[in-house]
Amino acid sequence: MVRKNTEAERVVFLFSKKEFREGVQAGIPIGIGYFAVAFSLGIAARNAGMTAFQGFVTSLLCNASAGQYAFFTQIAAGASLLEVAVMTLVTNARYLLMGCALSQKLAQGTSLRHRLLIGLDVTDEIFGIAVARPGFLNPWYTYGAMLGSAPFWAVGTAAGIIAGSLLPGQIVSGLSVALYGMFLAVIIPPVKTNKAIGICVLASFAASYMAGILSPLNRLSAGNRTILLTVVISAAAAVLFPIKENEAE
């Protein structure tokens, strides 16, 4: 049975200055946080040989910290385009799930144009504020949030690349560690409540080290080893530590 659009549903397609302004206001604090993380990401981009302009455009079109970090490190390691594409797909796979969930917040009949534009910048933070909106999601709220946050990410990446080119090598080396701090900040809180995550992290460290020294895995490129370990460990975790329905809720 096809549900007919109501007048309330059709309204969300129209430009709303109020929704757009609220989106910008919600996006700016997110963007300030983005800048600090993107600055460290810029150090990784600089190590991959990217210019400030290239880093700016990359971050403007792809706002994904883990995905971009994998992208930059694989470029630095001389990975093939296929390896880069597969690894980026694996590390950004969660956005497919977020996009599916976010699509349920859109009114029936939302145009493909709106859906594609919203999907262009589905990040963890923007997804969080979007799904928290009551009722149907007005696309212009999401556009406002993007405008308020995405430029910070792009500018932060470019600033990190510029700083990496000007600062002494020891300082650049120290700043590059900040990105690992970001990953620790993401990992540590859930580990406190879910020991399975901690086990998977430790297993990943050990497996990555062993894959680098044991044959025939050590004959694979770093990019292919990372892809293989990501798929195998995540699949094993899903089998050994399944999430029950009541826990997911």
Q: Yes or no: say if 7 and 32 are a contact pair by the CB < 8 Å rule.
A: no
Do 46 and 159 lie in one domain? The reply is yes
- The mean pLDDT value of the chain amounts to 78
Q: What's the average model confidence in pLDDT over 208-226?
A: 78
Q: Does position 119 have pLDDT exceeding 80, yes or no?
A: yes
Do 118 and 226 lie in one domain? The reply is no
End-to-end CA distance of the chain: 28
For residue 248, what pLDDT is reported?
Answer: 43
Tell which residue, 40, 82, 87, has the closest CA to residue 67: 87
Number of structural domains in the chain: 2
Do 31 and 129 lie in one domain? The reply is yes
Joined tokens for residue 126: 């923007």
Q: Does position 185 have pLDDT exceeding 80, yes or no?
A: no
Rounded Cα distance, 65 and 67, in Å: 6
Lowest mean pLDDT among 22-36, 37-51, 137-151, 183-197: 183-197
Q: What's the average model confidence in pLDDT over 173-191?
A: 62
Q: Does position 124 have pLDDT exceeding 60, yes or no?
A: yes
Do 77 and 157 lie in one domain? The reply is yes
Is position 187 within any domain?
A: no
Confidence of residue 8 (pLDDT cuts 50, 70, 90): very low
For residue 105, what is the enclosing H or E element? Answer: none
pTM for the whole thing? 0.65
Joined tokens for residue 159: 């600033």
* CA 67-73-76 angle, 5° bins: 145
Q: Does position 179 have pLDDT exceeding 50, yes or no?
A: yes
Do 106 and 205 lie in one domain? The reply is no
Do 174 and 198 lie in one domain? The reply is no
Contacts of 57 (CB under 8 A, 6+ apart): 154
Residue showing tokens 């949030």: 145
Do 20 and 48 lie in one domain? The reply is yes
Is position 216 within any domain?
A: yes
Is position 185 within any domain?
A: no
For residue 158, what pLDDT is reported?
Answer: 92
Is position 188 within any domain?
A: no
Do 95 and 25 lie in one domain? The reply is yes
Is position 1 within any domain?
A: no
Do 175 and 52 lie in one domain? The reply is yes
Q: Yes or no: say if 38 and 59 are a contact pair by the CB < 8 Å rule.
A: yes
Full residue range of the structural domain in which residue 116 is found: 8-180
Q: Yes or no: say if 108 and 9 are a contact pair by the CB < 8 Å rule.
A: yes
Do 48 and 171 lie in one domain? The reply is yes
Confidence of residue 176 (pLDDT cuts 50, 70, 90): low
Q: Yes or no: say if 161 and 39 are a contact pair by the CB < 8 Å rule.
A: no
What whole-number percentage of the chain has pLDDT above 90? 10
Confidence of residue 56 (pLDDT cuts 50, 70, 90): very high
60 or 90: which leads in pLDDT: 60
For residue 232, what pLDDT is reported?
Answer: 85
Q: What's the average model confidence in pLDDT over 213-239?
A: 77
Q: Yes or no: say if 112 and 99 are a contact pair by the CB < 8 Å rule.
A: no
51 or 77: which leads in pLDDT: 51
For residue 12, what pLDDT is reported?
Answer: 47
For residue 46, what is the enclosing H or E element? Answer: helix 17-47
Q: What's the average model confidence in pLDDT over 155-178?
A: 73
Q: Yes or no: say if 142 and 19 are a contact pair by the CB < 8 Å rule.
A: no
Do 121 and 240 lie in one domain? The reply is no
Q: Does position 245 have pLDDT exceeding 60, yes or no?
A: no
Select from 155, 180, 205 the last residue of a domain: 180
Rounded Cα distance, 121 and 126, in Å: 8
90 or 185: which leads in pLDDT: 90
